[in-house]
Amino acid sequence: MAAARREPQRTCIGCREVAGKRQFVRIVRAAEGGLAIESRGERLAGRGAYLHNSRICWERALEGATIGRALRMSPNSADIEGLRRHLDTIPVSSAEEA
């Protein structure tokens, strides 16, 4: 389903699929260090990476150094912990038709 309305395109760092940015959750490298996950409607400053709100994409991104590479940082264990907490909130059956 190609949407008629235009929106900025972003790449999911989990599956590398390109889609409109509203379909993604944005992870931001905060200026004071650490990672933040943007809530809907929020606009955090800092370098960001995009992920579908799907467990597969988050699990892939949490494997290896994907997030660190995308954000050009080395996430510490608290950062990873925060991301895993978000992953736990994603319903298992969030297989949305893209």
Name the residue whose CB lies closest to Zn ion: 12
Least spacing, CB of residue 26 vs Zn ion, in Å: 13
> Measuring CA to CA, which residue among 75, 66, 86, 55 is closest to residue 13?
66
- Report how far residue 86's alpha carbon sits from residue 19's, in angstroms, rounded to the nearest whole number: 21
Q: Taking CB under 5 A as the criterion, which residues in 13-42 touch Zn ion?
A: 14-15
Considering the complex, state which of residue 11 and residue 46 has its C-beta at the smaller distance from Zn ion: 11
Q: In the complex, which residues of this chain contact Zn ion (CB under 5 A)? A: 12, 14-15, 52, 57
